A and B are shown apart, each in its own frame.
Chain A
């Protein structure tokens, strides 16, 4: 029974976000799947990169170990101790692979588990709660990540089951996925939001850790072979990487032969920096911010090539 199999299929999800209105048509629910093969320096969801669940610590919410010692008490690996300032010190080398009882013990929600195992049934039960809003707005479920196809079997099971329930589906993708997985996902998707960050593969590799040839090939396949799937390409504008007119013009020129494809620019934001801190990592971008005065020129570079297919 294929149907039952899909519903029981489990994967790692790190967030489900209701009332999302900037990622696909209508009012949507975003399902964030964990794991990504890229390691973009500007990643605003650092908790999405690794496939396994991770422990994070929001020091600002912690009551301090003078007032509460619930978490070290339950840690069997002795990974949690008191730091000199009274907050929690996590020994990252020791802390791994357990079910994180410390998160359940924490009364203040200072300890956070990024990623939990959910079945397709669990996820869709959450997604369907907002069914009344999808019906009126043309919205539905958007898979996001990480890279949703990093957990390809889980993502495909989610999409198949969503289609059986007549939900509208969309997926945000980095494009870095097995060709077969993308080809299988495409007919199950009403909309694809496809990231193209740079057309020069060497520059791409330097900043994301991977070349872009598979990404571009995947894009071509999607655009050429799946006429029923709407495609919107998005470029995150990253300072020092692609925030120049030549780069944007080159991406636009690459897209120009595909008349169905829409294009959008997403200015870099620093909302993710705090999460690096929670994970005891440092943000590779540091304090770098985007010079927003550049945006109009980048927009007109894209518009020159793509005309009304460029969306703001």
Chain B
């Protein structure tokens, strides 16, 4: 082992300080290093900074560590299962990144063999916008199903729904109805004449 670093747990080595002393006693230093390590291995993340971090200090204004942990009851009765509670929806990927990864929440992003999809499907096209915004809104709805009183998350949902309405309008204007209700804007019965999604090409050809 390099004498200028100290092994911390299983995965990280922390550089020693100027006097070649182990710096793991300094909790701020440790958490700052861990956060930096996490960010190095998960590039291109559009993270919304959390102003009041639950765990870990800010490293360059971004807090990843807090989003990966939830809370458990203390004390907890025996003979029950407990999943840690996701405390907030504040730390999120941008909608198109969320769609690509399959979740809006970095803490829940746990890929097989750490291989992630790169690039956003149909980014910049009306279909891509509709898919990304709809996905983000849906993720917030599932979150709010179990977090009824999270007014902050509800405010975000309402913004996303407004964006979704606009994305829906733009998509249907160009490519035809997405629901039968959209036929109100059509001049003929286009429902059966635009491709069904298992036959979609780019942008809904």
Q: Do A and B bind each other?
A: no
Residues of A within 8 A of B (CB): none
